[in-house]
Amino acid sequence: MNMVKAICECQKLSEDDFIVAVQEGRFSFIEEWSIWIWIGVVLFTLFTGGFWVLVVLIYHYKEIANPNYYCSQCEREIEPKQFRI
């Protein structure tokens, strides 16, 4: 997990009151899966000989390669132009 100082709309983009932008993990989308998605992924993986895992990784490639930053207070996505280093 990476943290950076940034500005956010919840603080009215104030340059005097920074927030902490937290980078989500590369595989954080897995934490959001319910038990039914897990069962489906396991079954499809068994039926397709592992091909389904490749489909899931390709579908989530953008999240894995370049995870987003989120405001630690309001959970909004923080753009790189809002970073203050």
Enter the tokens of residue 28. 């954080």
Q: Are 79 and 23 in contact (CB under 8 A)?
A: no
Task: Please give the residue range of the domain that contains residue 81.
Answer: 1-24+68-85
What local confidence, expressed as pLDDT, does residue 55 receive?
92
Output the CA–CA distances (angstroms, integers) from residue 40 to 16, 26, 58, 78, in the order listed. Answer: 48, 21, 17, 32
Q: Please give the mean pLDDT across all residues of the chain.
A: 88
User: Looking at the predicted structure, is the pLDDT value of residue 3 above 90?
Assistant: no
Residues 75 and 56 in one domain: no
Do 61 and 76 reside in the same domain of the chain?
Answer: no
Number of domains, the chain: 2
Dihedral (C-alpha) 52, 56, 61, 66: value to the nearest 10 degrees?
A: -140
Residues 20-41 pLDDT 10s = 898 888 898 898 899 999 999 9
Distance CA(56)–CA(34), nearest Å, equals: 15
Say if residue 79 is in the same domain as residue 55: no
pLDDT of 1 higher than 80: no
Higher-pLDDT residue of 57, 13: 57
Q: Are residues 49 and 74 in the same domain?
A: no
